[in-house]
């Protein structure tokens, strides 16, 4: 995915919107890109800077490119926090003609036995939560985010037709690896400590029952468009 986005851009200068801890930025750097992060959270920005990344603190919609132009504006797992029309307009302001906007998300595709086991835990401990509904129904909430992003690009009026690219990948998890990342995701970050501990224990027991690990399939979904050239 990173290589395709980089190859579709007219040059190597990339703005990473919502750079966070720099997971995506480091991969674009490895592909030969020069990356500037824009991050609304000053604490995240400091963390990324300590790891050698250049970051400016701002809401992307209010960020000032200060006359600079870039070849790509990317956003991994964060474009849903940006107003889709104002964000696309700001991206167009920062991009040179032919520059590319690419927002992407990783959509999990759990094996049925994993979905069933996790659903049982969430139904028991968090029955009214989005996570409980997600694991029970297998619904793809990212479809709505992609539609919203594409509609914003169209409404901004400064890009060609948006496209959707998909890249399948998978990752094996041990019990500890899954439990390590789970508290950093979605509503899990706001759980009271006692409830979080109970949930982790339940999910850990479910993974143990699955043999101590599992492989999660993912699809990286990209909504992307090129900035129109001036008439």
Per residue in 157-206, pLDDT (tens digit) is 999 999 999 999 999 999 999 999 999 887 788 899 999 999 999 999 99
- Whether 157 maps to a domain, the answer reads yes
Q: What is the structure's pLDDT at 128?
A: 85
Q: For residue 118, what are its two tokens?
A: 């996790």
* Residue 98 Rama label (left phi>0; alpha psi -120 to 50; beta): left
Q: What is the structure's pLDDT at 107?
A: 92
- Whether 118 maps to a domain, the answer reads yes
3-state class (DSSP) for residue 197: helix
Say how many domains are in the chain.
1
- Whether 72 maps to a domain, the answer reads yes
Q: CB atoms < 10 A from the CB of 183, how many? A: 14
Cα 200 to Cα 12: distance, rounded to the nearest angstrom: 42
Residue 7 predicted with pLDDT over 70: yes
Residues 37 and 25: beta-carbon distance below 8 Å: yes
- Whether 231 maps to a domain, the answer reads no
Structural domain that includes position 118: 2-226
Give the rounded distance of the alpha carbon of 90 from its chain centre: 19
Of 184 and 63, the structure prediction assigns the larger pLDDT to 63
Q: For residue 44, what are its two tokens?
A: 């995240």
Strand boundaries in the chain, DSSP class E? 13-17, 34-39, 54-57, 70-76, 95-109, 163-174, 213-226
Q: What is the structure's pLDDT at 131?
A: 81
């Amino acid at each position: 995915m990173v290589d395709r986005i980089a190859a579709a851009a007219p040059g190597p200068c990339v703005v990473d919107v919502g750079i966070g801890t720099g997971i995506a930025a480091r991969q674009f750097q490895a592909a030969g890109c020069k990356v500037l992060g824009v991050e609304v959270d000053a604490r995240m920005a400091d963390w990324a800077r300590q790891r050698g990344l250049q970051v400016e603190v701002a809401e992307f919609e209010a960020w000032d490119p200060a006359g600079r132009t870039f070849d790509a504006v990317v956003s991994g797992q964060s474009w849903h926090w940006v107003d889709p029309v104002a964000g696309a307009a700001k991206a167009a302001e920062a991009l040179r003609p032919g520059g590319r906007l690419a927002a992407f998300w990783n959509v999990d595709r759990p094996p049925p036995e994993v979905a069933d086991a996790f659903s049982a835990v969430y139904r028991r401990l968090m029955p009214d939560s989005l996570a409980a509904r997600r694991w029970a129904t297998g619904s793809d909430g990212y479809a709505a985010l992609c539609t919203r992003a594409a509609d914003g690009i169209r409404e901004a009026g400064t890009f060609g037709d948006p496209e959707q690219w998909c890249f399948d990948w998978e990752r094996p998890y041990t019990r500890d690896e899954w439990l390590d990342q789970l508290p950093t995701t979605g509503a899990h970050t706001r759980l009271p400590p006692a409830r979080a501990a109970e949930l982790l224990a339940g999910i850990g027991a479910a993974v143990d029952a699955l043999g101590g690990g599992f492989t999660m399939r993912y699809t990286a979904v990209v909504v992307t468009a090129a900035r129109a050239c001036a008439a």
